[in-house]
Amino acid sequence: MTVLRAHHASPVTVYRVARMDAAAADTTTGRNVRTAHATVAHALTVSLDAVRRARRVLRDLGWSVETVRGRYMTATERETATRETGSHQRRFASTRCLTIPARVRAMHPYPCGVKSSRKLPSRHVPSSRLRAAGTRQTAAEKRPLTRRNPAVGVQRIAARLVQRMPWLDRAQGHLMGLSRGLAACGVTEEWTTQDLMNAVEADHQGLGLLSLPPDSQKNPRALLLHQIKRAITGKEPPARARRAAETARRETRAAELAQRAAEAKTKTTMPAWFRAELAKHTPPHQR
């Protein structure tokens, strides 16, 4: 109730907006919610501000995370949208992911997503020698393989890469696959999208390679991951160098201030008699 009062939102509207976002999200992961505020407001017959307030409530309560901020389209993107779809779209909506807060995971029926039913352990027919000995062998139950999701920062890098290069999201599977590919290449949250692009460009220039058009490749996503891995292997993220430079700058500034303070303490005050004589010989308009 505190969050509702803080944003002046109606609980009914928040629930209806959450239902709309759930219907627009991926069925098994809850990701890729790209509906605009205006679209939801028109479908629910509410105001645009009501949808904004409701989504802020969902964000503060931990039910929704914005991975890619919406932006205005470039002139080329507007012309392409008008030519292909006949629409007059001017902005890209933000991309959101529906999440489950940690405080309610124990009460959620499927806290890790929908899973298939577990298979019963199969039994192998024992050999004649084992049957004669009166023993039986039971195959060990195979445990399902679980893959850990990459860090949220790596997922955001993947989303920004798709935003800059939309061909990465064409018939290449879910974006989580791209995130796992980036993590396998050694990409961490310390990297940024621009840092990766700069590293790939520098690697191409060093090897004298030319950038190939995406349409000429059967699997452009795999090619990009290969280029990223080759470009960043053995290199530190530029963010570390930037942090080190900022730390050195602050330490230098702190040392300068400390030196000035020490010099100020060592200065001797002007004697009173000298100050009086100086005042006698100083013109009145300069005092």
What is the tens place of the pLDDT at every residue in 129-180?
A: 544 555 444 444 555 555 678 888 888 888 888 888 887 776 555 678 888 8
Domain check: are 6 and 63 in the same one? yes
Is residue 282 assigned to a domain?
no
Q: Does the residue 127 lie in any domain?
A: no
Give the model's confidence band at 106: pLDDT under 50 very low, under 70 low, under 90 confident, else very high: low
Per the structure, the count of domains in the chain is 2
- pTM of the prediction? 0.42
CATH number at residue 30: 1.10.10.10
Which pLDDT value is given to residue 143?
A: 55
N-terminal to C-terminal alpha carbon distance within the chain: 66
Cα distance between residue 35 and residue 51, in whole Å: 11
The pLDDT confidence band at residue 116, using thresholds 50, 70 and 90, is very low
CB count within 10 Å of CB 86 equals 7
Whether 67 and 34 have beta carbons less than 8 Å apart is answered as: no
Asked whether residue 244 is domain-assigned, the answer is no
Q: Same domain for 12 and 97?
A: yes
Instruction: Please answer whether residues 227 and 203 qualify as being in contact, where contact means their C-beta atoms are separated by less than 8 angstroms.
Output: yes
With a cut of 70, say whether residue 94 has pLDDT above it: yes
Domain-located, residue 122:
no
Looking at the structure, do residues 93 and 164 belong to the same domain, yes or no?
A: no
Beta strands in 80-166 (DSSP E): 91-92, 95-98
Domain that holds residue 45: 2-104
Collapsing DSSP states into helix, strand and coil, what is residue 72? strand
Residues 100 and 178 in one domain: no
Residue 267 falls inside a structural domain: no
